[in-house]
Amino acid sequence: MSTITKAAAPNETPVKRDAPLKIRKRKTKRTAGDWTILAVAILVGIAIAVPFYLILINSFKSPADYSSGGPLQLPTQLSFDGIINFWNRVNFPEKLLNSIFISLAVSIFAVIVSVLNAYAIGIGRVKGRTWIVVLFLLANVLPQEALLYPLYFMFKSVGLYDNIWSVIIIFTVIQSAFGTYLLSSVYGTFPKEILEAAALDGATRWQMLWRVVVPISRPTLSVLVIFFFIWTWNEFLIPLTFLVSNANQTVPIAIASLQGDRLMDVTTTSASALLGLIPTLVFFLIFQRTLTQGITAGAVK
């Protein structure tokens, strides 16, 4: 508060000078209105969290327990039947591994492609860069349906249909389109003194990229890696179309494709949702700090 008064504009009125004091006093006092607003904010939070709570408690019930006690009661005894049932039925570890492999490969390849593009656009300032950035942005905005059938046809004719590499290649391009857009503007403001110093030391352009630009922008690159990973993990339409056989499916596809199944009883379905949300919840907890900063920076898709 004191820094604010000090920094205040020179033409401030005398009334304003003693204002901070008043405000400070008021700040510590919590009126009934403040408590009401807190209550509203908490109620909204509860409304958003309730579905998670319901999924959590009902995944550990037996169907009989569910029908006798209802969805709100805690399980009378822990039953892992639903979870085990779903785990085995979709071969969950296999799906998990597919998702991890695809997302990891995409995030690494896409960051490399983004760096190369952004180096030419942001630092190399190649001619027509505005249009190049617009092209990449367009690639990111397009609905995937507009590419779906031709891609399906192409990958079928080169024998990559129903192969996880088809999905890796497609998402490398789609994610790097966003990465190029973001990194180009970051590299556009890269301090040129550093680049000039490196050039004076005789660094080639290639060396400059890997020894100067990449290390300095590493924090941004790691945010991109994390985002690409999670976005790819969450993708649905293209993996659904391209990964038809069971052994190639990702976690969201495996879960979604069992939804209409008659054999999925109420607690197994709940368990499937639980298993679907656990991995992303784990990422969120691990990368929480990076994510909350990155969300606002990238303004997300």
Partner 1 sequence: MATVPPETRTRGLGSASPEDAPPVSVRGSRRSAGYWLYLIPGFVLITVIVVIPLIWNIYLSFTSYRGIRPPEWIGLENWVELMGDEKFWTSFGNSVALIIAMVVIPTLVGLVLAAMLFDLVGKKFGGKVASFLRATYYLPQILPVVVGAIVIGWILRPDNGALNEILRNIGLGALAHNWLGSPDTALASIMVVMVWIQLGYPVVIFMAALSRVDPELYEAAELDGANWFQRFRSITVSIIRPEIFVVVLTSTIAALKVFGPIYTLTRGGPGDSTIVPSYYSYSEFFQSQQVGYGATIATALTIVIVIVSVFFIKAQNRAEEAEGTR
CB of 85 to partner 1, least distance (A): 15
Nearest approach, Cβ of 76 to partner 1 (angstroms)? Answer: 16
CA distance 19 to 27: 12
At 189, give phi and psi (nearest 5°): -105, 15
Does position 296 bind partner 1 by CB under 8 A?
A: yes
- Interface with partner 1 (CB under 8 A), residue total 126
Could you give the CA distance from residue 181 to residue 114 in angstroms, rounded to a whole number?
Answer: 8
Q: CB-wise, 88 or 296, nearer to partner 1?
A: 296
Closest CB 113 distance from partner 1, rounded Å: 5
- Local structure of residue 72 (DSSP, 8 states): S
Q: Which stretch binds partner 1 (CB under 8 A): 76-84, 89-97, 100-108, 129-137?
A: 129-137
Q: Which of 177, 212, 225, 243 binds partner 1 (CB under 8 A)?
A: 177
Site string (225-244) toward partner 1, x via CB under 8 A = -----x--xx-xx--xx---
- Window 10 to 69, contacts with partner 1 (CB under 8 A): 15-16, 19-20, 23, 27, 30, 34, 37-38, 40-42, 44-45, 48-49, 51-52, 54-55, 58, 66-67
- For residues 86 to 125, the per-residue mask of contacts with partner 1, x marking binding by CB under 8 A and - elsewhere, is ---------------------------xx-xx-xxxxxxx
Two tokens at 251? 């976690």
Nearer to partner 1, 174 or 243 (CB): 174
CB 237 within 8 A of CB 148: yes
Segment 143 to 162, residues that bind partner 1, using CB under 8 A: 143-152, 154
Q: Give the integer Cα–Cα distance in Å for 231 and 301.
A: 9
CB 228 within 8 A of CB 107: yes
Distance CA 82, CA 43 (A): 31
> In Å, how far from its chain's centre is CA 201?
39
Between 93 and 143, whose beta carbon lies closer to partner 1?
A: 143
Cβ 17 to partner 1, closest distance in Å? Answer: 11
Angle at which helix 218-234 crosses helix 164-188, to 10 degrees, equals 150
Report in angstroms how near the CB of residue 285 gets to partner 1 at its nearest.
10
Buried b or exposed e, range 141-157, using 16+ CB within 10 angstroms: eeeeeebeeebeeebee
